[in-house]
Amino acid sequence: MQTAAKKIAVLGASRGLGRALKLEISANEANSKAGGEIRGAQFLLAARNEEKLGLLKSQQDLTFACDFTKTEDQARLLNALIEFQPTHIFYVAGGGPYGRFESKKWADHAWALELNFNWPARMLHTIMSHLPEYKNLKQIVFVGSAIAGQGPDPMAASYAAAKHALRGLITSVRKENPSLDIRLYEPGYMATDMLPPSAWPRQQGLAKSPEDEARALWQWAQSTLD
Ligand SMILES: NC(=O)c1ccc[n+]([C@@H]2O[C@H](COP(=O)([O-])OP(=O)(O)OC[C@H]3O[C@@H](n4cnc5c(N)ncnc54)[C@H](OP(=O)(O)O)[C@@H]3O)[C@@H](O)[C@H]2O)c1
């Protein structure tokens, strides 16, 4: 009999790393066995593009079309998470305006700050301060950036500011010894929509495939950290 041992919320699942992560975990969990019993995973897949989520989902999965930068959608998502009762949450969504800081509208920078930092920080705070309501939750992984989270990223200043803030938040909270496994995963360049085909890391062969990165991420998420 197939049992859904893991319930995994992938927030930012429609494309790129989030999509590859869903497929990677599905393949692994479908093939894994514990005590002779075949196990599986059930997903809550969230992003704005409902159609892409629908194409990605398996029969037992749920989709949740929402915009992480919109207050009303954030509240709906928190309710959906409580209803789903995840064992794992991956916050994969990210993005920001590309260009000189002053050439972009403040609204674009505010969007990047909300998507990459304010909302994931508030979501983490809400979950941690209402932990009894998330009774199966074991782990939350946030995706940062080895590039924009750790150094200057010209033409992506507000994105870099938000990824730095995310790093500061998660590394600090981890030092508070939370009862949950809270992690920050910082990939390097990936060949996704975020990186145009003409971008130099792609041209120079430095961009990993999202599939390879998803494999590394899932293995790392299951490993014990120091
Ligand atoms: N690509 C790189 O080179 C690179 C390097 C380092 C770190 N990263 C980080 O890795 C993560 C994944 O990046 P990626 O390259 O896979 O990006 P991507 O291909 O652009 O995919 C981004 C995902 O986030 C979702 N998303 C974006 N804005 C959203 C919003 N407002 N509300 C809900 N969902 C939203 C998108 O879905 P919808 O459009 O359907 O909403 C999509 O599923 C991000 O955190 C990114 O910052 C990427």
CA of 18 to the centre of ligand 1 (A): 7
What residue type is assigned to position 178 of the chain? Answer: P
CA of 177 to the centre of ligand 1 (A): 29
Segments forming the whole domain that contains residue 152: 3-222
CB of 17 sitting under 6 A from ligand 1: yes
Summarised one tens digit per residue, pLDDT across range 32-48 is: 766 555 568 999 999 99
Q: Render 35-58 in DSSP notation, one character per residue.
A: TTEEEEEEEEEEES-HHHHHHH--
Query: Contact at 8 Å (CB) between 197 and 182?
Result: no
Q: Give me the pLDDT at residue 58, please.
A: 96
Summarised one tens digit per residue, pLDDT across range 159-174 is: 999 999 999 999 999 9
pLDDT for 12 beyond 80: yes
Mean pLDDT, all residues of the chain: 95
Atom of ligand 1 nearest to the CA of 111: 31
When divided into structural domains, the chain yields a total of 1
Per the model's pLDDT, the better-predicted residue between 32 and 75 turns out to be 75
The structure's pTM equals 0.96
CA of 34 to the centre of ligand 1 (A): 33
Q: Give me the pLDDT at residue 5, please.
A: 85
Q: Which CATH number do you get for residue 132?
A: 3.40.50.720
Nearest Cα neighbor of 88 from 206, 5, 28, 193 is 5
CA of 206 to the centre of ligand 1 (A): 18
Q: Give me the pLDDT at residue 4, please.
A: 52
CB of 115 sitting under 6 A from ligand 1: yes
Cα-to-chain-centroid distance, residue 28: 18
